[in-house]
Structure 1
């Protein structure tokens, strides 16, 4: 059965730059996105917006054996194995990017009370970047500061690939944020940004995916047990 994974790791600058420029191939690896981690809500011009030595990697594998072999045998895999990772079961997809278009819209296997992981991936329209930053940064802060997220970050690979990753205590909490059902002034931010995207799209391609966390390994910046217990 196919498996997805998300990884956070510190890497030497040369290794990080090489992986960003040309993600490696490997047996059983269906797709790999290598990005530089960013702090959600950080100023648009800031070292915190793109940290080359902090890799955020999202991948699809034929099975868990392929992932294990990559972590043990490949140079980038050994870097990732020293960091933090969560292994994921795919649940839902909205929108599409070419490399992941084979995923179904909905597997039907959802429980609103269980923890979920949300991953977005987009290929930007470069002239729309200023609009995207304007509308996106408030949403970044909304997700970062939400009481039901245990980890939230953004990531990018120049010139046009951006992504986000967030871990939620429950699917109900995540969808409440998406549809503006939370209290307070911040509740409308995501809904308004999506309405602006519908008016004039920021992206060539965009997808947001929901996953069930299967297992968590390692630590990130002194934190472990980031995924809430069921």
Structure 2
């Protein structure tokens, strides 16, 4: 990952990117999976992404050395917040208004205040158990820029109703959300929903969107 940073900074058409480690749990967690990582990237246009996938030594290494890889293309549906002081999707066209039907991807990212780390991680096991109970969740993984303090969760869902049911349907989860606000756990946060419109490869042996 460290060697990829200079190459990514020189990649044409790449508007925003983050290299991310992954956890062992379904959401943000203390444990790390040192064999698995992720790249979150926002592109100026599809042609820039295609050029990266065809010619970048990073993409070539994915094809040649990874035991497994999965790629998904996402169109932002709705978002709020900042990542490193920036709106990653500034200038991105929003989809037409109206109800979306079909799979939804969700990214929740937070920079956790040091004084709130203990309270935050005490809440994680309950969230992981709740995620495991959600039949509408197709896949989920905890990712992060830094150990402990800068964490995120990426998840795939059958639809918007399933996302809302998880976020607001469980009393314990609503209590965590209320504490995030009332106790000011996060120095910065980003919440985004996407329409996944193309995918390739496998994640734990299968394409969760197939």
TM range (shorter): 0.7 to 0.9
RMSD over aligned CA atoms reads 2.6
Of 22, 36, 46, 1:64 maps to 46
CA contact (8 A) 2:80 2:190 kept: yes
8 Å CA contact 1:40–1:144 kept in 2: the answer is: no
Change (3 A) 1:51 1:203: same
Distance 2:98 2:70 in 1: 25
Which secondary structure does the structure 2 equivalent of 1:151 belong to?
A: strand
Higher relative contact order (CA 8 A, sep 6+): 2
> Are residues 1:86 and 2:75 paired?
no
Q: Which residue of 2 aligns with 1:155?
A: 143
CA distance in 2, matches of 1:145, 1:68: 37
SS of the residue corresponding to residue 99 of structure 2 reads coil
Q: Provide the residue aligned with 2:8 in structure 1.
A: 24
- Scaled by the length of structure 1, the TM-score of the pair is 0.77
Alignment of 1:115-194 (within 5 A): 115-159=103-147, 160-180=149-169, 187-194=170-177
Deviations 1:24-76 (A, max 9, x none): 2210001111111113258965xxx2123201221100011111222222232
Paired positions, count? 202
Partner of 1:36: 21
* Residue deviations 1:141-186 (CA, integer Å, cap 9, x gap): 3124311011011111224321111110011111121111xxxxxx
1:51 to 1:163, Cα distance in 2 relative to 1, 3 A: same
Q: 1:218 aligns with which of 198, 201, 205?
A: 201
CA distance in 2, matches of 1:116, 1:44: 23
TM-fit CA distance, 1:93? 0.8
CA contact (8 A) 2:78 2:192 kept: yes
- Normalised TM-score (structure 2): 0.84
Structure 1 stretches lacking a partner, 5+ long? 1-15, 181-186
CA distance 1:147–1:123, change in 2 (3 Å): same
Aligned CA distance change for structure 1 residues 43 and 57 (closer, same or farther; 3 Å): closer
Q: Which residue of 1 aligns with 2:86?
A: 99
